[in-house]
């Protein structure tokens, strides 16, 4: 089998890994099932693409795209904490609204960036072994990972973790948990939009539909990461998320090489997540059947 | 130090389940006073504690702490004045975080959170010293997740967290009720030690009449949302459980069956 798909898989794994880190922040740290991701990911792509084709510096465009992602997360947070809409629904509402907003921003359903100057073109100097993109993504992802690890060890970061762990306790210690939830959602969706902006530039186009099911891909990465690296240390967990993302891409690419219909990808991903999340219950179910059989024998 | 004036709290107002939990309660706590609150289930003692903590707003009346009117403050805004130990040992600490991380958050109870690293060697020394009072060896386990600790150890840690930054008022919410007798006794001893060491103003709710008379220097009894008995000094020193029950029935003008309170223990 031709192995030249490995480097692109790792590159994709790293870029999507930034999104997975965002998902990790909400689902694992904040214990908030945030579906905004499906909207903030293409939002990042839309903002970056629109700005780049309008002549903006791709670095600036990527940064602005991330800020838009933060805003999307903040809106979900406000819906949840101020208007008391459930977390799940708050995310769905923002995500749905973003679909229209993304179309408005782009002016059409997709924008090509193939002929534009993209962010990696500023980092041609990283051309080690002719892999400037891989090196660029690797450095970006490592910087982000270290920043997240550091943040979660600061006083503010610890309060964020405690908000996801025990709201009652951290409120009694003087922390406004509403603000913490908004902060966590903002940071998370900032990362997701950054990932969307980089993916758009990496694949050379952005599409309004590129966010569909992205949350499941993020979750799959988080779960694969947890399985690979079993540690309650955040430093290891974030590393696991990135590994999970890369492995997810390698598996998908291999499956495609083996003639899997690309249209079935989302189904496969969903099944993978169902198996991983439902695994413990499925095992129990099995046990239950055995027990009733034993009972019959006894009777 | 703590002033509750004309506190009225009605739950499920206007429904068939309407319940007046606090009926124009007035209460004043002097600095350094240790008050124990007793009463049967539904007497309003937990509601009293929760309104002081700011868990829900009063329908009428006001609360001030150290001269600051906190009536309109949500719970987290009062945390710089109040600290609290819950009945459930699991509620006062974050299980997925280490002992040191929990203590960092307790240390920041009355000040702003910063972007500095939560744990540094100076703080670790401070934490070790604070934990050594417990005599449970927790000072050598700063890096352990709190989820690994027993209920008693977690409650002891919560007590240290509540007193790490001296609060104006310490609220104890039946904080030994969920523990086995031996552990409960340890926690009571630790509570006494900490309160004496920092000369704290304390409001403690308890079901245990023995504990109510043994600890502190003033006791109030509540019934149907009212304070029906308020004793301190000599009168309290002479008080026995039987006397307390008798006083209670006299105050209410109705005979109280012993079991109603005893069963609630």
Q: Is A42 within 8 Å of A241 (Cβ atoms)?
A: no
Contact yes or no for B145 and A174 at CB 8 A: no
Confidence class of residue A93 from pLDDT cuts 50, 70 and 90? very high
Which position has the token pair 């499925």? A282
Contact yes or no for B105 and A157 at CB 8 A: no
Nearest-Cα residue of chain A relative to residue B170: A172
Q: Which CATH number is associated with domain A6-260?
A: 1.10.3470
User: Which pLDDT score, from 0 to 100, does residue A143 have?
Assistant: 97
Report whether pLDDT(B265) > 50: no
Q: What was the ipTM of the complex prediction?
A: 0.89
Report whether pLDDT(A296) > 50: no
How many CB pairs below 8 A link A and B? 87
Contact yes or no for A173 and B109 at CB 8 A: yes
List CB contacts (< 8 A) between B145 and chain A: 232
Interface of A with B in 20-49 (CB under 8 A): none
Which has the minimum average pLDDT: A4-8, A159-163, B72-76, B254-258? Answer: B254-258
- Of all residues in chain A, the percent with pLDDT exceeding 70 is 93
Report whether pLDDT(A240) > 80: yes
Which position has the token pair 């609220």? B171
Nearest-Cα residue of chain A relative to residue B111: A174
Question: Of B109, B115, B118, which is closest to A174 when you measure between CB atoms?
Answer: B109
Q: Is B244 within 8 Å of B221 (Cβ atoms)?
A: yes
- Tens of pLDDT, residues B125-147: 999 999 998 889 999 999 999 99
Contact yes or no for B145 and A232 at CB 8 A: yes
- Which of A151, A174, A178, A237 best probes binding to B when mutated, by most B CB atoms within 10 angstroms? A174
Interface of A with B in 147-176 (CB under 8 A): 150-151, 153-159, 161-162, 165-166, 168-176
Angstrom CA distances, B223 to B28, B57, B81, B86, B218, stand at: 18, 21, 28, 22, 17
Across A182-202, average pLDDT: 98
Q: Which tokens is B204 given?
A: 């403690």
List CB contacts (< 8 A) between B94 and chain A: 161-162, 165-166, 169-170
Report whether pLDDT(B257) > 70: no
Report whether pLDDT(A270) > 50: yes
Rg (CA), chain A: 20
Count of domains observed in chain B:
1
Q: What range defines the domain where residue B248 resides?
A: 2-262
Which position has the token pair 């100076």? B122
- Which of A151, A157, A167, A172 best probes binding to B when mutated, by most B CB atoms within 10 angstroms? A172
CA end-to-end span of chain A, whole Å?
57
Sign of CA dihedral B156, B158, B161, B162: negative
CA end-to-end span of chain B, whole Å?
30
Confidence class of residue B203 from pLDDT cuts 50, 70 and 90? very high
Across A71-79, average pLDDT: 98
- Which of B79, B147, B167 best probes binding to A when mutated, by most A CB atoms within 10 angstroms? B79
φ, ψ (nearest 5 deg) of residue B16: -65, -20
Contact yes or no for B113 and A156 at CB 8 A: yes
Q: Where are the domains of chain A?
A: 6-260, 270-299
Report whether pLDDT(B78) > 90: yes
- Which of A169, A180, A183, A226 best probes binding to B when mutated, by most B CB atoms within 10 angstroms? A169
CA distance A36 to A78: 13
SS (H, E, C) A221-262: HHHHHHHHCCCCCHHHHHHHHHHHHHHHHHHHHHHHHCCCCH
Q: How far is the alpha carbon of B42 from chain A, nearest alpha carbon, in Å? A: 22
Contact yes or no for A171 and B86 at CB 8 A: no
User: Which pLDDT score, from 0 to 100, does residue B101 have?
Assistant: 97
Question: Of B84, B96, B115, which is closest to A154 when you measure between CB atoms?
Answer: B115
SS3 B8: strand
User: Which pLDDT score, from 0 to 100, does residue B252 have?
Assistant: 66
Report whether pLDDT(A217) > 90: yes
Which has the minimum average pLDDT: A79-83, A136-140, A288-292, B213-217? Answer: A288-292
């Amino acid at each position: 089998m031709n192995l030249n798909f490995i480097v692109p898989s790792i590159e994709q794994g790293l870029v999507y890994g930034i999104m997975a880190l965002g998902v990790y922040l909400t689902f694992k740290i904040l214990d908030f099932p945030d579906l905004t991701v499906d909207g903030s990911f293409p939002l990042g792509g839309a903002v970056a693409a629109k700005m780049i084709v309008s002549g903006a510096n791709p670095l600036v465009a990527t940064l602005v795209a991330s800020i838009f992602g933060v805003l999307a997360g903040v809106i979900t947070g406000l819906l949840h904490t101020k208007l008391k809409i459930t977390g799940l629904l708050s995310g769905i509402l923002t995500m749905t609204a973003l679909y229209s907003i993304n179309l408005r921003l782009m002016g059409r359903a997709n924008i090509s960036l193939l002929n534009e100057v993209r962010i990696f073109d500023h980092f041609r100097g990283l051309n080690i072994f002719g892999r400037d993109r891989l090196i660029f993504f690797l450095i970006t992802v490592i910087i982000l990972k270290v920043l997240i690890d550091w943040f979660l060890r600061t006083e503010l970061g610890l309060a964020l973790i405690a908000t996801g762990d025990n709201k009652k306790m951290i409120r009694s210690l003087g922390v406004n948990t509403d603000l913490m939830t908004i902060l966590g959602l903002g940071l998370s969706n900032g990362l997701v939009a950054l990932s969307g902006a980089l993916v758009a530039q990496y694949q050379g186009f952005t599409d309004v539909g590129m966010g569909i099911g992205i949350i499941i891909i993020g979750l799959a990465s988080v779960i694969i990461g947890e399985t690979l690296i079993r540690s309650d240390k955040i430093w290891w967990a974030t590393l696991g998320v990135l590994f999970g993302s890369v492995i997810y891409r390698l598996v998908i690419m291999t499956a495609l090489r083996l003639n899997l219909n690309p249209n079935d990808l989302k189904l496969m991903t969903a099944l993978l997540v169902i198996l991983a999340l439902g695994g413990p219950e499925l095992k129990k179910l099995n046990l239950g059947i055995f027990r009733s059989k034993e009972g019959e024998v006894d009777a | 130090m703590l002033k509750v004036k004309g506190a009225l709290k009605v739950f499920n107002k206007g429904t068939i389940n309407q319940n007046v939990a606090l009926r124009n309660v007035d209460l004043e706590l002097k600095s350094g006073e240790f008050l124990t609150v007793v009463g049967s289930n539904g007497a309003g003692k937990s509601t009293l504690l929760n309104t002081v903590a700011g868990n829900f707003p009063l329908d009428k009346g006001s609360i001030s702490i150290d001269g600051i009117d906190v009536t309109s403050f949500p719970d987290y805004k009062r945390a710089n004045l109040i600290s609290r130990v819950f009945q459930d040992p699991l509620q006062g600490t974050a299980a997925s975080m280490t002992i040191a991380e929990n203590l960092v958050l307790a240390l920041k109870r009355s000040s702003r959170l910063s972007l500095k690293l939560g744990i540094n060697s100076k703080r670790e020394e401070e934490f070790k010293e604070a934990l050594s009072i417990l005599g449970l060896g927790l000072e050598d386990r700063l890096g352990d997740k709190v989820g690994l600790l027993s209920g008693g150890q977690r409650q002891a840690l919560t007590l240290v967290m509540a007193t790490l930054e001296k609060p104006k008022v310490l609220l104890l919410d039946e904080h030994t009720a969920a523990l086995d007798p031996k552990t409960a006794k340890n926690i009571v001893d630790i509570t006494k030690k900490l309160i004496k060491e920092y000369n704290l103003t304390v409001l403690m709710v308890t079901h245990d009449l023995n504990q109510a008379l043994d600890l502190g220097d003033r006791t109030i009894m509540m019934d149907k949302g009212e304070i029906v008995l308020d004793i301190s000094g000599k009168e309290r020193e002479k008080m026995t459980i039987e006397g307390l029950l008798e006083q209670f029935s006299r105050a209410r003008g109705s005979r109280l069956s012993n079991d109603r309170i005893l069963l609630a223990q």
